Amino acid sequence: MAEVEPIKHSLSSLLGGLSVALVVTSGISLYRSIDLARLLIRHGADVTAVLSDKAARLMSPELFRWATGRRPVSRLTGRAEHVSICAEADLLVVAPATANTIAKAALGVADDVAATCIHAALGAGARPVFVPTMNLSMWRNPALQEALSRLRSWGAWIVEPKVEEGKAKYPEVEEVAESVIDAAAPRDMSGLRVLVTAGPTREHIDDVKYISTPSSGLTGMYFAREAAARGAEVALVAGPGVKAPPNVKAVPVVSVLDMYRAVAELAPSQDLMVFSAAPLDFYVAEKASGKISSDLAEYSVRLLRAPKIAAEARRLNPRAYIVGFKAEVGAPEEELIRRARARMEEGGWDLVLAHDVSEMGFGTLKDRYIAIYSDGKVERLGPAHKRELARAVLDRAVRALRR
């Protein structure tokens, strides 16, 4: 275990205290599961690798001993590893999952160490995640798709492969890890409708140039993903460059007025709204057609104040729980709290998350918030991974909604 202790929890504790049986089968991309194992450990998991016979011939199991800090399993012995490891696991991750392995999992065949581990884990209630990789013709086979549908009906998470060059390839390991975190999330938001805003807006000066903010949209993306994993029906109003995660309805927008109109349409039906986007406070009064000539010595742009999207939400929906954000640059903490509280009262929010984006925030995986509640309570969250912060905030919102 000494090999993994320096990296454990280095990204987050989203998988802290959970055991993962990582089943590796003989897809040619099996080497990528080394990186996956390390990434799951960085999120706090305890990982044990189980290799099929063919996988163990393609890659030395000793590499997985290094990657996980635990003795890998490549054959069953009198220790009954399929019970002591697989049936005791909280999460089952099959990566890569070949067509043969998927078919055996769906049909109840347990004829090797990998298949036996899968069946023991499924029978014991582990949350399963499958990462299919294969030739594209095999991926499109109706029999395989039927097997995947059966696994989904049993609660399995299927990570969609990256389809290119005639192959269904192993997706980015970060996406696989996020899917494992999805599978591990509590299921306490079923029946709730959630609106999240994310990313920047663009206010075009002409058809080429625009004014924007440096928001990456990561904060909103993690809020949306966490809420969807917990069973909510989620709409993500997303500015340019923000990709909606799986099981989330994407509402793409460009300008601040686009975002305002999208929110106004969706807000009345929501139970929870999280306004994590960083739209511009102004829009361009007169956009020029075509491209402004670069020969001009100067060019003036008139900006008009945009409507406050998050402030309008309360008027549109008096019953929803509203989480707003207040970003500042270099403000002393006392002043940051004062400004955030004023914004919360102005918008009628239930919770405002104040943060200094000069320290961390835009484009970073981690952040820290000062959470200020409508009853006056102040709570400090982080520094932590943005999804971990999203989980903490949603925990508090769900408790308030259930009350």
Give the residue extent of every domain in the chain: 19-184, 193-402
How many Å apart are CA 334 and CA 165, to the nearest integer? 55
How many Å apart are CA 165 and CA 169, to the nearest integer? 9
Largest CA distance in the chain: 82
Tell me the pLDDT band of 360, cut-offs 50, 70 and 90.
low
Task: State pLDDT tens for residues 91-136.
Answer: 999 999 999 999 999 999 999 999 999 999 999 999 999 999 999 9
Beta bridge partners of 49: 22
Q: Report the chain's terminal Cα–Cα distance, integer Å.
A: 43
Question: What's the pTM?
Answer: 0.95
Span 193-402: which CATH code?
3.40.50.10300
Tell me the pLDDT band of 330, cut-offs 50, 70 and 90.
confident
Do 19-184 and 193-402 have matching folds?
yes
pLDDT, average across residues 379-383: 95
Span 19-184: which CATH code?
3.40.50.1950
- Tokens matching residue 294: 């670069």
Tell me the pLDDT band of 348, cut-offs 50, 70 and 90.
very high
Q: What is the CA radius of gyration of the chain?
A: 24
Task: State pLDDT tens for residues 66-84.
Answer: 999 999 999 877 777 888 8
* Helices 218-229 + 386-402 axis angle, to 10: 50
